[in-house]
Structure 1
Amino acid sequence: MRRSRPFWRLTPAERKVWDAYPTGAWVDLRTGRDEEDDPARGARWGPERTVRARVLTALLLGARPAEPGRVPGLRLAGATVVGTLDLSDATVPAKLHLLNCHLGDPVTLIDSATKGLRFRGCDIRRIRAARCTVDGLFELDGCTVHAGLRLDNTRISGQLRLSGTHLAAPEPTSAADESFLADRRRRFGDVERQERGWDQHHWALWAGGLAVAGGAFCRGLRAEGGLRLIGARFDSGLFMQQAVIRATGPHAIYADHLQASSVEFSAGFTAEGTVRLRGARVAGVLSFDRAVLAAEDRCLHLSHMQVDELILRPASARGEVNLGYSRIGVLLDHPDAYPGHVRLNGLQFESLRGQPRTADRLAWVAKDPEGYRPQPYEHLAGWYRRIGHDKDARDVLLAKQRARRATLRWPGRLAGVLLDWAVGYGYRPWLAAVWTAVLLAAGTAVFATHPPAQVGLDERRTFHPFPYTLDLLVPVSVFEQRGAWEPVGWTQWLANLLIAAGWILATALIAGATRVLRPPSN
């Protein structure tokens, strides 16, 4: 019986690929002229550089066995691949390496198990690799992907390389897509619809649940659309230096619950849209050093995180920063990192670096858009105490009381003003000594020139203005001068003022001494 052949006719280019596969040899169809070899112009290449996708698929699925003693593989440069390269649900035993190729139709790797996948400098319509398992390297360095990259729940045992890659988000392509989006818009509203991520055409990279054992190197990445990385895990780090992400929706990066050993959004990283890492866990450094951040509402949403060190020193930033309820080991920042509102309620940190002045820190905790919150002041004061800066801690707690005063009704505000003037809410007790000295000097001078009248005439007394004034200022008479002399004329008002001032000063000092307004124990 005649043996069946998978293809009755192969083009010369396909015959080269077919013959090279058993040994893993390269097939290079490039001319050596840069302009002619540009994969963006691959649709105009002739049949001498055209290979059908189903020929490549057949080879990768075992149409030709390996040559004894050699490792098979598909290595192709400078070709136009026609048709969909579909390896869905397949187990691919050989590596695929395409260099400077043009793939005008999607590459589909859904639910497949593959060896290394390398696309370098290629022009690709779309890649769909949901739930794919890659035993080795997944590389797209220098590629252009026009309609989105899907890596949701993909597992990569080696590195993920997207350095110099250009990704663009897909657009709705059918009336059904438009109808679905319109229905979601009617039911849930535009903001919530985008927040939940239903509009896939806002995402250049859709990679929720992605797991990369090696490093994820995305340096110099360009994306027209957001990166959706919810629940992604990067065991050896995520590196996005000099990447530029221009969101077409509200989020440039949406990476709630991301886990990584380190994350670098630094060295010129640019995000036009919100960078959201709510609930992320970073075992090392999360860096925004020299980043450019811009959003209409919130440029950074970093709440509920756990990170060993956060470097927040962007080159420029526009929008709100949310650090609420995060736990940070070391926070290295700069006042310019917070150009708008900043949410700090619940934030806990072990150390602050960057040496901003205490005044800058007070301006920092006062930027909460919801107004006064006690926890940021208390935690900041506790940190100053731990490092031995007691004066700075008292300044922070005094600022806390002043901010709290603005939230009280007018009786509480009046009492607060008196406490502030008298002893700085107990954190500046020396003010009481200053007020006492001023009142004592004034009373002594007045009563020296306008002495009071003696109350009892049965014995002769000598008036001394200093102890008399001091006795008026002390709430409980100590020198028995108050009852022996009676002020006359307008000095009666001065005597009453001194008595009232003495009670106010004593009350303020007692409030501070008994720690009614005590600093936090931490």
Structure 2
Amino acid sequence: MEINDLTPAERRLWRAFATGTTVDFREAPDEAVSPDWGLERTVRARVLRALLLDGPHRPGEVAALKLMGARITGELDLRYATVDSVVRLNHCHFDAVPRLAGAHLNYLNLRDCVLPGLAAARSRIDGSLRLTRCRIGGPVHLGGAQISGALFLERAELSTADPSSAVLALNQVTIDDDLCARGMRAHGAVRLDGATVAGSIDLEDAELSNPGGFVLAAEALDVGANLLGRRMRARGRIDLRGSRVPGRVDLLGTSLSNPGGTALRASSCVIGEIWLREGTRIEGRLNLRRASVGQLQLEPEMLPDQVRLLDLTYTFLTPHEPAERRLPMLERDDGAFDPHAYEQLTAAYRRIGDDRAARVVQLAKQRRHRSTLSWYGRVWGHLQDAAVGYGFRPLRAAVWLLSLLAVGSVAYAGHHPPALKAGEAPPFHPVFYTLDLLLPVISFGQESAFAPTGWYQTLSYVLIVTGWILATTVAAGVTRTVSRQ
């Protein structure tokens, strides 16, 4: 391109490129980006392309494209090009979508720009990509891109006219540093499927909106540190299925809403810590099935009506809450009875030495299991529950025995049953006679020596049957206790 073909504004930029000098067309440093530009503030995209691919160089200087406050007309097409110079276009307005697919760039800074979209799939950026405070009205395609530095999207505003298209496509992207998107506003789906971020993903104070669809699709996401989402507001589905986050998934103070669908799915994930606290109640399902979590910080108040926990494993559950406040979490799973969920909660209480809460959870497990049995199994279960609380309320057996012992002793003290052999029977003792009836193994020689009649005989049958039931339930309870030890 000949310099005579350039406008005065383009000539100024052409001369500044060789020394990396910044060209600022703004009338004031804080001037907002506006589509109302004159020719003196307009640069053609093909001029930028010519500079980046074959621009002037001066010995001893580092060439760079640094432009601020300009309108860029036409399409900036750098597909599969190699650009060695730093590209910094700030406070600029693009008329067309920049085409950077497959390009190899040194550094790209589009801070505070207005763009109709960005097509940079499979691009390679040796430094960072900065889209801070950009207003982008179309899809941002970075699928398969390799970014050696960080990706900055702080306070960026992303939207698209096509609801079926992702507003931010980061599928299979590789970022060697952080993904910083604090305060980002995205009206559409953000896709991170198969992405690898060596550092952390920061979505604190972000607003993600795509009602009825995905707001964050991050299946098989691999994060090197943390996924931060404090005070994030999400209206749609967040899917982290199969992701790996060795640090924490921090959702303190978040608002998650997807009525009628899944609000958060973190199934089959491996996560160091999940923090779900201090936020509003989740609207929609919470799915943590088959996930492996080191520490689960979960406030009962945030749980929705449907919680799926099948095969969820965790080491610690905080904050410490009474078992009665944790059990509804297990009962909200709309799947079949899952004993593993009860065992996990029991183990969490035992690790902190709360045996009483562990027993409450185990009792709730037996009662939930009872509802899956046949009618006779349920009857036997009710008897065990009433008698000794499935072995977790052993004092109940003592209360029952003492009560029946008192009834039998009083009844037989007022009416001694006749002896089978008058001359050979030992002296009658109502207390030991009742014990003989109640205890199926121990014998005091009273039951075999006396034979009650009438109503007292019926009472003896009731005591014998009740004794056997109590003995069986106590034995079952002791067996459970021993197996737990």
TM-score, with structure 2 as normaliser: 0.96
Alignment of 1:439-454 (within 5 A): 439-454=404-419
Deviation for aligned residue 1:204: 1.0
Deviation for aligned residue 1:477: 5.6
Q: 1: CA distance between counterparts of 2:484 and 2:289?
A: 20
- Equivalent residues of 2:227, 2:245 under 8 A apart: no
One-letter code of the match for 2:72?
V
- Does 2:441 correspond to 1:502? no
- Does 2:41 correspond to 1:25? no
- Equivalent residues of 2:323, 2:358 under 8 A apart: no
One-letter code of the match for 1:68?
P
Deviation for aligned residue 1:8: 4.6
Secondary structure of 1:319's counterpart equals strand
Partner residue of 2:368? 403
Alignment of 1:32-71 (within 5 A): 32=28, 37-39=31-33, 41-42=34-35, 44-62=36-54, 64-71=55-62
Deviation for aligned residue 1:378: 1.4
One-letter code of the match for 1:46?
G
Alignment of 1:1-12 (within 5 A): 5-6=1-2, 8-12=4-8
Of 347, 363, 369, which residue of structure 1 is paired with 2:334?
Answer: 369
Deviation for aligned residue 1:7: 5.9
Q: Residues 136-171 of structure 1, C-alpha deviation per residue, up to 9 Å, x if partnerless?
A: 110011110000111101111111100010001342
Distance 1:47 1:237, change over 3 A: same
Of 156, 161, 164, which residue of structure 1 is paired with 2:152?
Answer: 161
Deviation for aligned residue 1:104: 1.7
Deviation for aligned residue 1:266: 2.9
One-letter code of the match for 2:301?
D
Partner residue of 1:192? none
Of 347, 351, 370, which residue of structure 1 is paired with 2:316?
Answer: 351
Q: 2: CA distance between counterparts of 1:71 and 1:402?
A: 75
Q: 2: CA distance between counterparts of 1:170 and 1:228?
A: 17
- Equivalent residues of 1:78, 1:100 under 8 A apart: yes
- Equivalent residues of 2:211, 2:258 under 8 A apart: no
Of 207, 216, 220, which residue of structure 1 is paired with 2:170?
Answer: 207
Partner residue of 1:475? 440
Instruction: Provide the aligned length of Structure 1 versus Structure 2.
Output: 483
- Equivalent residues of 1:268, 1:291 under 8 A apart: yes
Partner residue of 1:189? none
Q: 2: CA distance between counterparts of 1:379 and 1:519?
A: 16
Secondary structure of 1:108's counterpart equals coil
Deviation for aligned residue 1:298: 1.2
- Equivalent residues of 2:3, 2:11 under 8 A apart: no
One-letter code of the match for 2:252?
D
Partner residue of 1:431? 396
One-letter code of the match for 1:479?
F
Secondary structure of 1:94's counterpart equals strand
Q: 2: CA distance between counterparts of 1:245 and 1:222?
A: 6
Partner residue of 1:299? 263
Identity within the alignment, % = 39
Partner residue of 1:181? none
Partner residue of 1:511? 476
Of 377, 381, 391, which residue of structure 1 is paired with 2:356?
Answer: 391
Distance 1:460 1:213, change over 3 A: closer
Secondary structure of 1:511's counterpart equals helix
Q: 2: CA distance between counterparts of 1:298 and 1:520?
A: 36
Of 216, 225, 244, which residue of structure 2 is paired with 1:262?
Answer: 225
Partner residue of 2:451? 486
Q: Residues 451-507 of structure 1, C-alpha deviation per residue, up to 9 Å, x if partnerless?
A: 322222234753221111111101146012112222233222221111000000111
- Equivalent residues of 1:224, 1:248 under 8 A apart: no
Q: Unaligned regions of 5+ residues in structure 1, if any?
A: 173-198
Q: 2: CA distance between counterparts of 1:252 and 1:367?
A: 25
Alignment of 1:150-229 (within 5 A): 150-171=141-162, 199=164, 201=165, 203-229=166-192
Secondary structure of 1:503's counterpart equals helix
Deviation for aligned residue 1:259: 0.9
- Equivalent residues of 1:215, 1:235 under 8 A apart: yes
Q: Residues 54-106 of structure 1, C-alpha deviation per residue, up to 9 Å, x if partnerless?
A: 000110112x2321111111111111000111111000010111111100210
- Equivalent residues of 1:241, 1:264 under 8 A apart: no
Of 233, 245, 253, which residue of structure 1 is paired with 2:196?
Answer: 233
Q: 2: CA distance between counterparts of 1:7 and 1:223?
A: 41
Partner residue of 1:125? 116
Secondary structure of 2:231's counterpart equals coil
Q: Residues 8-30 of structure 1, C-alpha deviation per residue, up to 9 Å, x if partnerless?
A: 52111111111110011011111
Of 223, 227, 234, which residue of structure 2 is paired with 1:271?
Answer: 234
Q: Unaligned regions of 5+ residues in structure 2, if any?
A: none
One-letter code of the match for 1:251?
F
Q: Residues 211-254 of structure 1, C-alpha deviation per residue, up to 9 Å, x if partnerless?
A: 11111110000000011000111111100100000015521100
Q: 1: CA distance between counterparts of 2:19 and 2:342?
A: 68
Of 429, 438, 460, which residue of structure 2 is paired with 1:464?
Answer: 429
Q: 2: CA distance between counterparts of 1:170 and 1:115?
A: 31
Q: 1: CA distance between counterparts of 2:423 and 2:90?
A: 118
- Equivalent residues of 2:231, 2:251 under 8 A apart: no
TM-score, with structure 1 as normaliser: 0.89
Distance 1:388 1:209, change over 3 A: same
Q: 1: CA distance between counterparts of 2:29 and 2:150?
A: 31
Q: Residues 146-199 of structure 1, C-alpha deviation per residue, up to 9 Å, x if partnerless?
A: 001111011111111000100013428xxxxxxxxxxxxxxxxxxxxxxxxxx3
Q: 2: CA distance between counterparts of 1:253 and 1:487?
A: 78
- Equivalent residues of 2:432, 2:446 under 8 A apart: yes
One-letter code of the match for 2:201?
L
Of 122, 134, 142, which residue of structure 2 is paired with 1:143?
Answer: 134
- Does 2:102 correspond to 1:102? no
One-letter code of the match for 2:13?
V
Q: 1: CA distance between counterparts of 2:337 and 2:227?
A: 33
- Equivalent residues of 2:117, 2:138 under 8 A apart: yes
Deviation for aligned residue 1:314: 4.9
Q: 1: CA distance between counterparts of 2:297 and 2:61?
A: 53
Deviation for aligned residue 1:513: 2.8
- Equivalent residues of 1:292, 1:314 under 8 A apart: no
Secondary structure of 1:38's counterpart equals coil
